[in-house]
A and B are shown apart, each in its own frame.
Chain A
Amino acid sequence: MLKVSRSKLDNLLVPIFSIILGFVFGAILMLFFGYNPITAYEAMIMGVFGSPYFLGEALRQATILTFTGLGFAIAFKAGFFNIGVSGQLLAGWVSAIWVALAFPDLPRLVLVPLSIGAGVLFGAIWAGIAGFLRAYFGTSEVIVTIMLNFTALHTTNYIIRNILAVGNTTERISENASLRVGWLTDLTAGSRLNMGFFIAIVVVILYWIFMTHMTAGFEIRAVGLNPFASTYAGMSAKKNIILSMVISGALAGLGGAIHGMGTFGNLFTQNALPNIGFNGIAVALLGLGNPIGIFFSSILFGVLDVGAGFMPNRAGVPDEMASIVIAAIIFFVGANYLIRLVLNKVSTNKAVQNEGGE
């Protein structure tokens, strides 16, 4: 029992140390270029927490990151690297906006679920393609989702320019399709924080229930840990590959729909894939696939993202610094072997677990 709690502690320490080391790395880099890291980090944190508007914006960003993070995490649990979260988010975004623009006069109670549903559906289909090809042809989901990312990018831009709008930006969706609510906007001094935040909390809880208390979630975990034993035990590896990818895409698509209906209220052409999708990968890796962990990681990265905007003016540091810190954090999560090694060294007075020889 002692061993169990020990490894649980390690599991918590890895992300904490990764975050600290990530910030330290950022600080060293800033020092190297003659910036003052304390001023920069202070600007970032005070900027967000000093104003309800920016705090609202950070939570709004965290909302979307939670969806992309959960989306990445469920495929990862099943043993797949869904690098296409970004494209699936875009697929969800464009379909939600499309529906919202097509039926502007439907009552809110109908239009909101309908638009969100469209986003979820198309996100799921987009990822499902990769899942299907992986299940039936053994095609690498990494490459397929990368390719589908670019396909989504160009297709979305084409749809905007040729179908949904005259120029590069669509009209705004009607009030009946918006996720914004007055009291949230007022509470956060006019930020774009919206109902999506509460949907995210509900989805985090549902995700947890699904993975730990439902047979379907058990199967996804089992297939991810050992597909051979799972097949032997009568689970269908094919079914679980596709299911996990479909849920993954559905979550990303949901994030996209909420991005469209809550954050922006419209859709515009993109030069590159939305970064928020790739940062979802970072969020999931930092949260170690645990939904609660992902939620808190999202808030951290939301703060970093929004706070970065204060660094150029208040500290003279380019706002890309935040992305560098995020990358550094994930580097240390990925290289957790290093952190575990150090943690083990520190606790050498305890009986060392044998590592095994060959």
Chain B
Amino acid sequence: MAQTANVIEMIGITKEFGTFRANDDVHLDVKKGEIHALLGENGAGKSTLMNILSGLLEPTSGTIKVNGQEVQISSPDVANKLGIGMVHQHFMLVDKFTVAENIMLGKEKHRFGFIDAKEAEKDVQELSDRYGLKVDPKAEIASITVGMQQRAEILKTLYRGADILIFDEPTGVLTPQEIDELMGIMKALVKEGKSIILITHKLDEIKAVADRCTVIRRGKSIDTVEVATTSQQELADMMVGRSVSFKVDKKPANPQEPVLVIKDLVVKEARGFDAVKKISLEVKAGEVLGIAGVDGNGQSELIQAITGLTKVDSGTITLDGKDITNLKPRHITETGLGHIPEDRQKYGLILPMRLEENISLQTYYQKPYSKNGFLQHDKVKEQAKRLIKEFDVRTQSEESPAAALSGGNQQKAIIAREIDRNPSLLIAAQPTRGLDVGAIEYIHKRLVEQRDNGKGVILMSYELDEVMNVSDRIAVMYDGNIIAIVNANETNEKELGLLMAGVSPEKAHEEVKKETGKESESFVESK
């Protein structure tokens, strides 16, 4: 593809929110029939740029050309008419509607205002056959798999005649197989003459499907490169802005007695089926146990059960030799548990409250922070000031509302609160999601420090890199089971990927051996 025309040109795009520049003089051009990756860290400004292109946001300044014509994309409707369609990261689907209803919404098949459901279902079926996107037009969104929901989302754009498809972080919620399938779909779409913009921060995806890649860092476009001639390390450097070592410096672990013992644990989820299926697990003092797996395989439920936020159906959990099964969260916390929750803004903090109040959230009722039911404000303040200093939480004052802090500093405040209580087990769930590299390094360091102090640590993360670099042992969860526990320094991404996809440990082991041609001493135990 030598001299193909640009379908999209974004020239000098700037978008300001108040005084904050989310996009600063960004340039992007997309050729017809290519998969163009847009690479950048969380918060780099990728989504803002694409929301501008899809008509959800208006740029403060800059020009957009579609097929060489300068255009004003003032609403999603205009974007649709220009042939631009977006597959959103959080699916824009109405749960209670059928696939066909979702697809036709806004562009309904109708007679005198009455909806022609049959006709719409037929159209959707035809479209799905044509592009090989298997969906059931009559199925209700709430009752189908995430993969099928995404296909419905793609069909929505095709139904509107989109020629330029934007995929916003499309793989986060998918299983490895579904990811492969999606990659296939994207390639097929390009063959049909569509152009694709793929927003991602995952380098391997870019290597797998993209033709060119534009890198965005802190709101600025850094460069556009040919993917085939650029290495992953080079892409990563451009994205982060300095050479990054993916390795975490740590001494070998020195595991002691188990602090947490889980036996035959069963946890039901809200709709009544088993989310955690008879899991047994030990975490030793002085080790980091990683929990890997694709989102939605029971990790969250397992952690909620340990922390007392969800009821245990059967089985036992023992912390420091004490049975904590189905105790109240506070009881469990007092027994010796620290918990950095998965969603820090929903569970970790009370955003409108002061930072000092947030820091005392686990201790406010204990001496010396309260006496006879009365809060001792001076003691609470003292504690906050000490921890803010110790954990380098950047804030105007301890009286600022937690909402005023940046994501990294909010997380530091939570970690300060949890570690300061000196828990024998610290659970960190997705502790670095959405944070910048500096904050990530800091948090990893603190987790390892906890381990070196002879405490147990559980690290649950959907990022394989993180799990592999920080953990000593890794438990892989699939479909509510722990299908294998491997030593972190004896495994590799390939093997973990297969395990996460539900391949049996023996087979995963075989596969890896076949490919690399050498014996890896990976799995130590399996269920």
- In the complex they form, whether A and B have CB atoms below 8 Å apart is answered with yes
Check A356–B17 contact: CB distance below 8 A.
Answer: yes
Partner of B346, one of A229, A235, A355, A356: A229
Q: Mark A230-245, 1 if CB is under 8 A from B, else 0.
A: 1111111000000000
A223 nearest CB neighbor, chain B only: B350
| Known A-B contacts A215-B365, A229-B346; A353 and B373 likewise in contact (beta carbons under 8 Å) | no
Check A215–B370 contact: CB distance below 8 A.
Answer: yes
A357 nearest CB neighbor, chain B only: B17
B363 nearest CB neighbor, chain A only: A233
Q: How far is the CB of B405 from chain A (nearest CB, A)?
A: 13
| Known A-B contacts A214-B375, A222-B353, A352-B18; A232 and B364 likewise in contact (beta carbons under 8 Å) | no
Beyond contacts A226-B351, A228-B346, A232-B329: 7 other A-B pairs, Cβ-Cβ < 8 A, are A4-B400, A214-B373, A222-B350, A225-B352, A231-B309, A232-B341, A234-B328
B47 nearest CB neighbor, chain A only: A358
What are the residues of chain B within 8 A of A166 when measuring CB–CB?
Answer: none
A232 CA to B427 CA, complexed, in Å: 13
Partner of B329, one of A1, A213, A234, A351: A234
Check B353–A225 contact: CB distance below 8 A.
Answer: yes
What are the residues of chain A within 8 A of B373 when measuring CB–CB?
Answer: 214-216
A75 CA to B341 CA, complexed, in Å: 28
What are the residues of chain B within 8 A of A1 when measuring CB–CB?
Answer: 396-397
Q: How far is the CB of B348 from chain A (nearest CB, A)?
A: 6
B376 nearest CB neighbor, chain A only: A213
A354 interface residue (CB < 8 Å to B):
yes
A216 nearest CB neighbor, chain B only: B373
Q: Mark B372-412, 1 if CB is under 8 A from A, else 0.
A: 01110100000000000000000011011000100000000
A49 interface residue (CB < 8 Å to B):
no
- Restricting to B349-364, which residues have a CB under 8 Å from any CB of A? 349-353, 357, 361-362, 364
A354 nearest CB neighbor, chain B only: B18
A187 CA to B364 CA, complexed, in Å: 47
- Can you list 13 contacts pairing A with B, beta carbon distance less than 8 Å? A3-B396, A4-B397, A214-B374, A225-B350, A229-B347, A231-B309, A232-B329, A232-B347, A233-B361, A234-B328, A353-B18, A357-B48, A357-B57
A158 interface residue (CB < 8 Å to B):
no
Partner of B349, one of A218, A229, A357: A229
What are the residues of chain B within 8 A of A236 when measuring CB–CB?
Answer: 328
Check A230–B375 contact: CB distance below 8 A.
Answer: no
What are the residues of chain B within 8 A of A233 when measuring CB–CB?
Answer: 329-330, 361-362
B333 interface residue (CB < 8 Å to A):
yes
Check A226–B350 contact: CB distance below 8 A.
Answer: yes
Q: How far is the CB of B499 from chain A (nearest CB, A)?
A: 30
Check B18–A215 contact: CB distance below 8 A.
Answer: no
B36 interface residue (CB < 8 Å to A):
no
| Known A-B contacts A4-B399, A214-B373; A229 and B362 likewise in contact (beta carbons under 8 Å) | no
A253 CA to B396 CA, complexed, in Å: 44
Partner of A222, one of B330, B347, B361: B361
On chain A, which size bracket covers the interface? 20 to 34
B114 interface residue (CB < 8 Å to A):
no
B20 nearest CB neighbor, chain A only: A354
What are the residues of chain B within 8 A of A235 when measuring CB–CB?
Answer: 330
A216 CA to B370 CA, complexed, in Å: 11
B103 interface residue (CB < 8 Å to A):
no
| Known A-B contacts A1-B397, A234-B333; A229 and B18 likewise in contact (beta carbons under 8 Å) | no
B474 interface residue (CB < 8 Å to A):
no
A218 CA to B353 CA, complexed, in Å: 10
Q: How far is the CB of B57 from chain A (nearest CB, A)?
A: 7
B522 interface residue (CB < 8 Å to A):
no
What are the residues of chain A within 8 A of B399 when measuring CB–CB?
Answer: 4
What are the residues of chain A within 8 A of B351 when measuring CB–CB?
Answer: 225-226
Q: How far is the CB of A229 from chain B (nearest CB, A)?
A: 5
| Known A-B contacts A214-B375, A229-B346, A232-B309; A351 and B19 likewise in contact (beta carbons under 8 Å) | yes
Q: How far is the CB of A318 from chain B (nearest CB, A)?
A: 42
B23 nearest CB neighbor, chain A only: A357
What are the residues of chain A within 8 A of B361 when measuring CB–CB?
Answer: 222, 229, 233
- Restricting to B40-63, which residues have a CB under 8 Å from any CB of A? 47-48, 51, 57
B360 nearest CB neighbor, chain A only: A218
| Known A-B contacts A228-B346, A231-B309, A357-B48; A218 and B357 likewise in contact (beta carbons under 8 Å) | yes
Check B17–A226 contact: CB distance below 8 A.
Answer: no
What are the residues of chain A within 8 A of B32 when measuring CB–CB?
Answer: none
A129 CA to B451 CA, complexed, in Å: 49
What are the residues of chain A within 8 A of B48 when measuring CB–CB?
Answer: 357
B22 interface residue (CB < 8 Å to A):
yes
Q: Mark B305-316, 1 if CB is under 8 A from A, else 0.
A: 001010000000
What are the residues of chain B within 8 A of A226 when measuring CB–CB?
Answer: 346, 349-351
What are the residues of chain B within 8 A of A352 when measuring CB–CB?
Answer: 18-19
- Restricting to A103-141, which residues have a CB under 8 Å from any CB of B? none
B339 interface residue (CB < 8 Å to A):
yes
Q: What 4 A-B pairs are tightest by C-beta distance, nearest first? A: A354-B18, A234-B330, A226-B350, A233-B361
| Known A-B contacts A354-B20, A356-B17; A213 and B57 likewise in contact (beta carbons under 8 Å) | no
What are the residues of chain B within 8 A of A216 when measuring CB–CB?
Answer: 373
A221 nearest CB neighbor, chain B only: B353
A232 nearest CB neighbor, chain B only: B347
What are the residues of chain B within 8 A of A355 when measuring CB–CB?
Answer: 17-18
What are the residues of chain A within 8 A of B349 when measuring CB–CB?
Answer: 226, 229
Q: How far is the CB of A164 from chain B (nearest CB, A)?
A: 39
B341 nearest CB neighbor, chain A only: A232
Check B375–A215 contact: CB distance below 8 A.
Answer: yes
Q: How far is the CB of A212 from chain B (nearest CB, A)?
A: 8
- Restricting to B306-340, which residues have a CB under 8 Å from any CB of A? 307, 309, 328-331, 333, 339
Q: How far is the CB of A288 from chain B (nearest CB, A)?
A: 13
Q: How far is the CB of A227 from chain B (nearest CB, A)?
A: 10
Check A229–B348 contact: CB distance below 8 A.
Answer: yes
A143 CA to B309 CA, complexed, in Å: 29
A356 CA to B43 CA, complexed, in Å: 12
B350 nearest CB neighbor, chain A only: A226
A355 CA to B17 CA, complexed, in Å: 6
Check B362–A234 contact: CB distance below 8 A.
Answer: yes
Q: How far is the CB of B238 from chain A (nearest CB, A)?
A: 24
Check B329–A218 contact: CB distance below 8 A.
Answer: no
Q: How far is the CB of A61 from chain B (nearest CB, A)?
A: 33
Check A354–B397 contact: CB distance below 8 A.
Answer: no
Q: Mark B408-425, 1 if CB is under 8 A from A, else 0.
A: 000000000000000000
Check A215–B364 contact: CB distance below 8 A.
Answer: yes
